[in-house]
Amino acid sequence: MPILRSSLPSRQPVLFLPHGGGPCFFMDWPNTWDRMADYLRSTQSTLPHKPDAIVVVSGHWEEDIPTVTAALNPPLIYDYYGFPPHTYHLQYPAPGSPALASTVCSLLHEAGMPCTTDDQRGFDHGVFIPFMLAFEDADIPIVELSLLKSMDSAAHIVLGAALEPLRAQNVLIIGTGMTYHNLRHFMNGSPATNQAAQEFDTWLERAVTAPAIERNAQLAHWAAAPGARICHPREEHLLPLMVAAGAAGQDEGMRTYSDTVLGSGPINLLN
């Protein structure tokens, strides 16, 4: 996955982390997700210092307007299906932050965007599953920001840009998703699917590591990239990357992890 690193050591970077498939890291699923799990466990070691709070956008929450969790003690949403019973009892008791939720909305309002808070919603599995590895102590306050139902890539870049000032306040901004998300093709596997995944992988790495203006322009038109719609029939798992790119400002992106996850055939993921 790409990391967008700040040139200022006092400022938090922006991360785009893989969240795997369902509760994959907490099942007897030999080897398949081990490298991704190890990568997630290394997350805190890449930061300049421990963040005071985290704003996260996952591929599993969409609203008409940007919406921020504002519960003090957010519950978990077990929004995956058909997995072993124990995976519906996983716990991640990280606190929320109504104050940070209010700050996020203020920043969006200042940028001319509507925003609202939700004091009932909890964290979906795109948050708590990877965070159980990346921030296992569950002691950092977290607020989750929704995607937009419009699926407008450029709008999500603008959304992220409004959040950039938080980084200087020791707030870490994270998008979680996957850079390949076509479950039907993934499970069936085919040479054509694998080629499309590799082509999109190559394009996406070049886009993310380009200078900021070029990066954002390419990401806004990601659907024109080779293999794009085979990798993402629907873009909700890629849009958190757009938010991260916007929040990165002028910082450069770099690829810090790649892996091949197996369905019936190998699918190369830019992770």
User: Which domains are seen in the chain, by residue range?
Assistant: 14-270 (3.40.830.10)
Tell me, what's the pLDDT at 107? 98
Pair 173, 161: CB distance under 8 Å: no
User: Is the separation of the CB atoms in 147 and 63 below 8 Å?
Assistant: yes
Joined together, the tokens standing for residue 67 give 């919406």
User: Exposed (0-12), middle (13-18) or buried (19+): which is 133, by Cβ within 10 Å?
Assistant: buried
Cα 158 → chain centroid: 16
Contact of 227 with 200, CB cutoff 8 Å: yes
Whether the pTM exceeds 0.85: the reply is yes
Higher local confidence (pLDDT), 191 or 135: 135
Express each pLDDT in 42-68 by its tens digit: 999 999 999 999 999 999 999 999 999
| Mean pLDDT of all residues in 24-30 | 85
Is 150 exposed, middle or buried (CB count within 10 Å of its CB: 0-12, 13-18, 19+)?
Answer: exposed
Residue-by-residue DSSP string for 102-153: HHHHHHHHHTT---EEESS--B-HHHHHHHHHHTTT--S-EEEBPEETT--H
Q: Is the distance from CB of 234 to CB of 250 less than 8 angstroms?
A: no
State the DSSP H helix or E strand holding residue 54, giving kind and residue range, or none if neither: strand 53-58
Cα–Cα distance measured from residue 158 to residue 113, given in angstroms and rounded to the nearest whole number: 9
Whether residue 86 contacts residue 135, with contact meaning beta carbons closer than 8 Å, is answered with: no
pLDDT in tens, 140-187: 999 999 999 999 999 999 999 999 999 999 999 999 998 876 655 555
